[in-house]
């Protein structure tokens, strides 16, 4: 199946990043969210991202305009019907996602592939909400989408080889590396990174070292781009907590039990970069304040 138009449901951080990345590679994009206001904010966010690339001479003004022209905003799911591939990128709530897939199943042609950007939920369970479980797959993009070159391509129980091949070809066309993953809680990236983040938080809570010291040790000692505590801040501490709770519930392993310090920060509204403070403080541009 040839993909020309891509529908994206959800115009939050992930949806905007996916829309920008897809449009830059020549695809027409239909970006859908609940209200005109949310869609307007999304377009502004994408334009701001492109402006930053423009400032760094990574793109030209003409390329920026062409990318923006390929993204068509909409506030009704019915507008997504011309898409050959639909990527769902809404809140990490199984009931919300299943309702969206039920609606899409009724709206879209039978050969349209449905993908979900979930990082922890069951592809098989979401696919069961449709009449086309063989054409449902996970495409787990990581944040920031425009810079991270990895996409986990996650098979559900009934995902067909044809659907996997279509998804793999699409991911490659975005100049990203696709890794085939068979469904398991947290897939690969979330499952592996969460214990590292959690242990760093426990080390801080127990007074083993300061937050700055822990991150410096891990960055310099293991050649990481960011330390685990800053990484958690950038992921969003509420998001990290949700990951841990789901993995702990699904796998029952104590290594996924959320650190009490993480719960305390989330209760205080210290969610990381998005709130300006987490384990560290950040300015309005998301830069770390030393």
Q: Say if residue 120's pLDDT is above 90.
A: no
pLDDT digits (tens, 9 = 90+) for 17-64: 999 999 999 999 999 999 889 999 999 999 999 999 999 999 999 999
Write out the DSSP string of 21-87.
HHHHTT-EEEEE-SSHHHHHHHHHHHHHHHHHHHHTTSS-HHHHHHHHHTEEEESSGGGGTT-SEEE
* pLDDT of 68: 96
* pLDDT of 2: 84
Mean pLDDT value across the chain: 95
- Give residue 241's pLDDT band: very low, low, confident or very high (50, 70, 90): very high
What mean pLDDT comes out for the span 137-164?
A: 96
pLDDT digits (tens, 9 = 90+) for 92-114: 899 999 999 999 999 999 999 99
The correct answer on CATH 3.40.50.300 for the domain covering 191-282 is: no
- Among the CATH numbers 3.40.1010.10, 3.40.50.720, 3.90.700.10, 1.20.120.420, which is that of 5-182? 3.40.50.720
Tally of CB atoms within 10 A around 39? 18
Higher-confidence residue of 1 and 70: namely 70
Rounded Cα–Cα distance for residues 214 and 57 (Å)? 35
Tally of CB atoms within 10 A around 131? 11
Rounded Cα–Cα distance for residues 42 and 45 (Å)? 5
Stretch(es) of the chain classified as CATH 3.40.50.720 = 5-182
Secondary structure class of 152 (helix, strand, coil) = strand
What mean pLDDT comes out for the span 190-206?
A: 97
- The H or E element spanning position 129 is none
Q: Say if residue 1's pLDDT is above 80.
A: no
Stretch(es) of the chain classified as CATH 1.10.1040.10 = 191-282
- Give residue 287's pLDDT band: very low, low, confident or very high (50, 70, 90): confident
Residue 55, C-beta contacts closer than 8 angstroms, at least 6 positions apart? none
Structure tokens that stand for 161 in this block: 């080889």
């Amino acid at each position: 199946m040839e993909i020309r138009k891509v529908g994206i449901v959800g115009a939050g951080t992930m949806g905007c990043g996916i829309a920008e990345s897809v449009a830059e590679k020549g695809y027409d994009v239909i970006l859908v969210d609940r209200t005109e206001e949310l869609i307007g904010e999304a377009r502004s966010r994408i334009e701001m991202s492109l402006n930053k690339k423009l400032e760094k001479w990574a793109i030209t003004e003409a390329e920026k305009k062409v990318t923006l022209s390929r993204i068509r905003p909409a506030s009704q799911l019915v507008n997504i019907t011309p898409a050959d591939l639909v990527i769902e990128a809404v809140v990490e709530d199984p009931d919300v996602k299943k309702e969206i897939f039920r609606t899409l199943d009724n709206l879209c042609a039978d050969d349209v592939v449905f993908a979900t950007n979930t990082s922890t939920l069951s592809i098989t369970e979401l696919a069961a909400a449709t009449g086309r479980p063989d054409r449902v797959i996970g495409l787990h993009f990581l944040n920031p989408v425009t810079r991270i070159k990895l996409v986990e391509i996650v098979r559900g129980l009934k995902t067909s080889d044809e659907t996997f091949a279509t998804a793999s070809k699409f991911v490659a066309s975005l100049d990203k590396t696709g890794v085939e993953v068979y469904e398991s809680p947290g897939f690969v990236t979330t499952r592996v990174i969460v214990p590292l983040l959690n242990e760093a938080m426990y080390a801080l809570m127990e007074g083993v070292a300061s937050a700055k010291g822990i991150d410096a040790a891990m960055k310099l000692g293991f050649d990481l781009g960011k330390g685990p505590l800053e990484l958690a801040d950038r992921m969003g501490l509420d998001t990290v907590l949700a990951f841990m709770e789901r993995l702990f519930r699904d796998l029952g392993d104590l290594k996924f039990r959320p650190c009490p310090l993480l719960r305390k920060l989330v209760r205080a509204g210290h969610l990381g970069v998005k709130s300006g403070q987490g384990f560290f403080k950040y300015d309005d541009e998301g830069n770390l304040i030393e």
